[in-house]
Amino acid sequence: MIAVDLSLVQIAGFLLAAALITLAPGPDNLSVLSLGLSRGRHAGIGFGLGCALGCFTHTVWATLGVTALIAASETAFLALKMAGAAYLVWLGWQALRSAGANFTAEAGGGNDPTPLRAYLLRGFVANAINPKVALFFLAFLPQFIEPARGNAAVQTALLGTLFAAQTVLIFGALGWYAGSVGGWLRGRPAVGRWLDRATGVLFIGLGIRLALAER
C-alpha cells in the first residue's frame, strides 16, 4: 500500500492558489458566466461542472505521464489544439444561430429546455481536449508536491482531485449567480438574442485564441 500524507499547510496553500487561478478571468469561467446569463442557471452550472470533470482527465493524464508526452510532441499538441479550437468555434456558431433565450423565466433564475447533461458534456469536452489546460496541470501540480510525503504520482492525483473539487464549487456558484442576474433579462426576447450573440462571439473568439496559441 502506498502511503501519502499531505500536510494541512500543503493543502491550504494549494487550494488558495487553485481558487485564485479558477477565479481569474479565463476561457472556462467566462464561458460559465456567459451561458448562465444567456441560457439560465442549469446551463451555467452544467457547463461549469463539465469543466470540472475535464480537470479530472488532465489530472489522470498528468499522473500517468501522458501530458508530458503531449508537451514533447508538436504533432499531438497541434492536433489537440485544433480539435479544441474547432469545438469552441462550433459552440459559438450554434449560439449565433440560436433564436435567443426568449423562454419564460422561472422563479429563481429560469432555464431553457436543453437538458443539463448537454451543457455538462459541452463543458467536459471543451476542457478535456484543451492542450493548454493539460500543460497548465503539468506545470502547476508539481509545484505543490513534497517528495518526503510519499509517492509523487499519488500526490499529483490527490492534488488534481482537490483542484477539480474547488472548481465544482466556484463554477457552480458562478453559474448560479449568472443565472440569477440573467433571469429577468431572459423575459425580454431582444435581450435574449443579444446575449446569445455575445456568447457566440465569446466562444468563437476563444476558439481563435486557442488555435493561435503556442506551447
Indicate the residue type of 68.
Answer: A
Please tell me the predicted confidence (pLDDT) of residue 110: 46
Total of domains in the chain: 1
Please tell me the predicted confidence (pLDDT) of residue 100: 54
Is 80 a domain residue?
yes
H/E element, 96 = helix 74-97
Is 4 a domain residue?
no
Domain carrying residue 49: 27-100+111-212
Closest CA to 146 of 29, 5, 27: 5
Is 6 a domain residue?
no
Please tell me the predicted confidence (pLDDT) of residue 134: 84
Neighbouring residues of 125: CB distance < 8 A, sequence distance ≥ 6: 50, 54, 87
Is 168 a domain residue?
yes
Closest CA to 85 of 208, 213, 214, 215: 208
Q: Which residues of the chain have pLDDT under 50?
A: 1, 101-111
Please tell me the predicted confidence (pLDDT) of residue 103: 43
Is 151 a domain residue?
yes
Is 175 a domain residue?
yes
Is 205 a domain residue?
yes
Is 179 a domain residue?
yes
Please tell me the predicted confidence (pLDDT) of residue 17: 92
Please tell me the predicted confidence (pLDDT) of residue 102: 44
Task: Work out the angle at residue 141's Cα, subtended by the Cα atoms of residues 27 and 24, and round it to the nearest 5 degrees.
Answer: 30
pTM given for the model: 0.75
